[in-house]
Chains A and B, each alone.
Chain A
Amino acid sequence: MSIKYGLLALLERGQAYGYQLRASFEESTGSTWPLNIGQVYTTLSRLERDGLVQALGENPQGQRPYEITMAGRAALATWFATPVGDTERPRDELAIKLALALSTPGVDITTVVQTQRTASVRALQEYTRLKNRATGGDDISWLLIIDAMIFRVEAEVRWLDHCEASLLRHQRTRQETSTAETEVPDQAPEAVPTSTGETTPR
């Protein structure tokens, strides 16, 4: 994933060592993407192997800073110039879950949808609280990231609303066709089917 490019972008600002990189990474993503130091070192050694960064020997403080190479700069520029493709995102577990919920006996999909919606709205409440608190400061990159998450979750909720509406419509048409099929031909015209399928006189 783009921890690689994240580190390259940070090194583009100037040389830095592992702990510094981790701190700046978390700072610039507003701590929304915590990294452990192991991930930082693994990524750095891969970047070094590919010639995108170079290690600068130990300094008197015992730290081993890295700096970006020409090849690293080029890779970073390409990354910024390339849109993020749909296939690079992880498979949508939620879409898969809903599709399976439809076909799994004993699972009520409207409950699955509502449970997800409540969780998503709760996430929105938390992001919004962070955002509301952050405003006033000048940390625009942090706000940008919160907004990205907010809009993404909003889209998820809209999609859930859409799923629920389609499901309801689907169920209704199914019910209508099934009651139409079971209707007795010589039934009295005053009788109307109730939701339970029984007929009652008006």
Chain B
Amino acid sequence: MTVLELRDVHRTHGAGEAMVHALRGVSIAVQPGELVAVMGPSGSGKSTLLNLAGGLDGPTGGEVFVEGTAISQLSRRSLAALRRRAIGYVFQDLNLLPSLTAIENVALPLELDGMSVRKARAVAAKALDDVAISELALRFPDEMSGGQQQRVAIARAVVGERRLVLADEPTGALDSQTGESVLRLLRARCDAGAAGVLVTHDARHAGWADRVIFLRDGLVVDASGPLPEAEGLLEAAS
């Protein structure tokens, strides 16, 4: 089943003269096991797309589906549950909770979801180990470097059985080797069945994706790799 689908999605900000068209009709489908990279210049709508995909923001036109369910049809409660259970994020600004240690930050979504504290800690410890910072488990965010915080954020996004992983420039503060290990982790997650969307400026990181989508001024201008279902085109032709 398609994990994520954006159907002719629009997003505008503001009104009248000052209206900004962040997305102007974007359609994308991401299947289980697939990692899709989104590239484009600054301001082209990449973060907007990711926020819509994760239900953090609503479209002004079109519809977003997660595992077949239209996000706009969900109650606040079920949307919150879906975000907690099924979707992992790495934000452009990391959003770690400052009052929690690294391992607590990673374990939190699992605990919120009803996993026992003990079990959640064990799973979180494994995730920190995957990003090679198990020795920092008890540090608070302000006691870690930018790159280390970034790895905590990544561990938090992939922990548990997330079926959709959304990452916005997850390798920003990382050196080339560590950045690559993050991509490997994301790749492995998708190979294990998750669907992933990765926003990146770095073509080397986009190289890990099955498909790369290029955005410019809120529109998909090109794509590399297997193209999305060309239903619209077929309909138009017939």
> Smallest CB–CB gap between B232 and chain A, Å?
20
* A124 neighbours in B (Cβ, 8 Å): 203-204, 206-207
Complex: A119 Cα to B222 Cα, angstroms? 11
Is residue A178 within 8 Å, beta carbon to beta carbon, of the partner chain?
A: no
Which residues of B pack against A, CB within 8 Å? 17, 39, 41, 184, 187, 201-204, 206-210, 212, 214, 221-225
> Smallest CB–CB gap between A162 and chain B, Å?
11
Q: Are A150 and B221 in contact (CB under 8 A)?
A: no
Is residue A19 within 8 Å, beta carbon to beta carbon, of the partner chain?
A: no
Which residues of A pack against B, CB within 8 Å? 114-115, 117-122, 124-125, 127-128, 132, 150-151, 153-154, 157-158, 161, 164-165, 202
* B184 neighbours in A (Cβ, 8 Å): 132
> Smallest CB–CB gap between B118 and chain A, Å?
33
Known: A121-B206, A121-B224, A161-B41. 14 other contacts (CB 8 A): A114-B221, A114-B222, A118-B214, A119-B224, A121-B207, A122-B224, A125-B224, A128-B207, A132-B184, A132-B208, A150-B204, A154-B203, A154-B204, A202-B17
In the complex, residue of chain B having the shortest beta-carbon distance to the beta carbon of A157: B203
Q: List 27 A-B contacts (CB under 8 A).
A: A114-B214, A117-B214, A117-B222, A118-B212, A118-B222, A118-B223, A118-B224, A121-B203, A121-B224, A122-B224, A124-B203, A124-B206, A125-B206, A125-B212, A125-B225, A128-B208, A132-B187, A132-B208, A150-B207, A151-B204, A154-B202, A154-B203, A154-B207, A157-B203, A161-B41, A164-B41, A202-B17
Complex: A132 Cα to B207 Cα, angstroms? 11
Query: Quick one: given A132-B187, A161-B41, A202-B17, are A122 and B225 in contact (CB under 8 Å)?
Result: yes
Query: Quick one: given A122-B225, A125-B224, A202-B17, are A165 and B41 in contact (CB under 8 Å)?
Result: yes
* A125 neighbours in B (Cβ, 8 Å): 206-210, 212, 224-225
* A202 neighbours in B (Cβ, 8 Å): 17
Which 6 pairs of residues, A with B, have the shortest CB-CB distance? A124-B207, A157-B203, A128-B207, A154-B204, A122-B224, A118-B224
Complex: A65 Cα to B221 Cα, angstroms? 56
* A164 neighbours in B (Cβ, 8 Å): 41
> Smallest CB–CB gap between B108 and chain A, Å?
31
> Smallest CB–CB gap between A100 and chain B, Å?
22
In the complex, residue of chain A having the shortest beta-carbon distance to the beta carbon of B39: A121
Complex: A101 Cα to B62 Cα, angstroms? 37
In the complex, residue of chain B having the shortest beta-carbon distance to the beta carbon of A165: B41
* B202 neighbours in A (Cβ, 8 Å): 154
> Smallest CB–CB gap between A166 and chain B, Å?
12
In the complex, residue of chain B having the shortest beta-carbon distance to the beta carbon of A164: B41
With most chain B CB atoms within 10 A of its CB, the pick from A119, A161, A202 is A161
Complex: A200 Cα to B187 Cα, angstroms? 51
